[in-house]
Amino acid sequence: MGLRVMLRSVAFAVAIGFITSSASGQNELPAPTSPPAVVQEPPATEQVSPAGTAAPAATPEDVRKIIDQVLKERDEKAKLAEIEKKNQDILNHRVTGKWNNGLMFETPDKAFKMMVGGVVQFDMGWFSVNPAEKRSIGVFNNMIDPGQALQDGMDFRRARLRMSGLAYDQFEFFAQYEFANSTDLRQRTLGIPNPTGLTNPNTTNLDPAETVGFNEVYIGVTKLPLIGNFRVGRHRESLNFVTATADNYQVWLERGLLFEAFNGNTNFSNGITVANNYLNGRAYSLFGFFQQNSNSNRQFSTLGDGNYVYDARLTCLPLWNEEEELWGHVGFDYSYRNLSQNNVRLRARPNLRIGSGFQVPFIVDSGTLFSYDAQQIFNLELAAAYKRVTFAAEGSVSGITNVFTGGLPDPDGSLPKGVKSRGTYIAAGAYVELLTFLTPDHRGYVKERPGYARVVPTRRFKLFRGEDGRVCCDTGAWEVGVRYDYVDLTHGGVNGGTANGLTAALNWYWTSNARVQANLSWMSRSFNPNDNEGRLPGNFTSFGLRFNADF
């Protein structure tokens, strides 16, 4: 109110001064220096003042009205601007839903996003294995009935629900839960006899087992200067190319022997990662700090002084041409892993796992290795794609020094009965794969977390009768491929075994969210011939079929 009174007073004074000076100056006009020009004016349509008569002077009341009108217009403009700002804020925070390979909600400025989705994978599988080899695998896994190993079956490989989102264009969250667990019901479901007569005879024969798994849950901050993206919670360690590739984008029914032996227990762990992209996504770095014994779906929290893991992943993209559908990837990974309770166990299951983990046991197994030292893993990544063709290869080496079997030495350095020194233990694994599309399709690449991208068929599959009675059909995307992989867990007196696998794949992508996969796999395993007790070398074949839908 004080400002309005002051403005009114100032404007009134200025107006009075202007009127006074105008009136006094009307009789002092200078004489023209040349004859004035004659201008033909149209006839007047309004009544004018007589010649020589000055316009009436503005009164103080007129000035007040003018000032009030100016102030009123100013206030109205301010109110309109405030209303417009509120309306724009409402529009910017209005959430709209759309389909983007899943149900997504976002604001117009994309600063707030939320996605609700999940995945369903239903598997069917059949094994062809001679009874002696089947029994040997059962004995190798200490099964109550060794003949129950490697049986035909059907199961849900994955059944997950998730929610993820972004707030203020920087704060992210992700929560995914697993409803199909690989350690499902054993004794009652499979009808396995229980010699002890107990409901739960031992920890390797739980019935029932856990049902809902705490799969991947984290929060994070993105776009941080220098750091990039920060995540904390239970999430991927991403120690190699095949692990970093999301489950929904996998080429094979299973990631293979290398993943099983070195990364199977570390796909999701509790910890922290810092990741960043450079050179427009042509280079990438990830550094992680995790708890060692956090691989169980039931472990919402983990304990253990010093049981920490330190990870590093560095990759680059020397080849990148989107128009030519060309990319080439090179990466290096390193993990330094303090052993949980001073022990670790490396083992691998077949390349097809149908049914519960109890039905598909391990085919190679180092047994429990003891050491006060840490495990170190080195991995090399190679991957590329050009139009229809995709290639990938990786190799890993794991090393542990001062290894013992049967336990640890006494404080004085002496070895208790049954404890043996094995020195440095080294295990290795690798795979190479080659795939090609039979249709004009291409496998893309995810720069944000280097790995395979989702396949989006150029022509989605359809087969239905239209309203006009004609049959509408299209092919979808078809892909064939072959992979060889191996893992060697035998070294330094540890007879863990060597496994080799050869797998052929036929993938039919109906849409970007639905596909059918078929794998035919041949597996072999061998052991140190000087230590074959309970370990029968041999081979077997298997065929698996998966129906996959994610949203």
Measured CA to CA, the distance from residue 440 to residue 481 in angstroms comes to 15
Residue 30 has a pLDDT of 46
Residue 266 has a pLDDT of 64
Residue 23 has a pLDDT of 43
- For the chain, how big is the Rg over CA atoms in Å? 38
Q: Which CATH superfamily is domain 118-550 in?
A: Porin (2.40.160.10)
Phi, psi of 529 (to 5 degrees): -60, -20
Residue 22 has a pLDDT of 46
Q: pLDDT tens digit string along 94-109?
A: 888 999 888 999 988 8
> How far does CA 206 lie from the centroid of its chain?
32
- Largest CA-CA distance found in the chain, in angstroms, rounded: 133
Amino acid at 385: A
Residue 532 has a pLDDT of 65
Residue 95 has a pLDDT of 85
Phi, psi of 138 (to 5 degrees): -65, -45
Phi-psi region of 294 (alpha: psi -120 to 50; beta: other; left: phi over 0): alpha
* Residue ranges per structural domain of the chain: 118-550
CB 347 within 8 A of CB 260: yes
Distances (CA, A) of 85 to 74, 81, 82, 89: 17, 6, 5, 6
| Residue segments in the chain with a per-residue pLDDT below the cut of 50 | 1, 3, 14, 16, 18-39, 41, 44-49, 182-184, 187-189, 191, 194-204, 206, 208
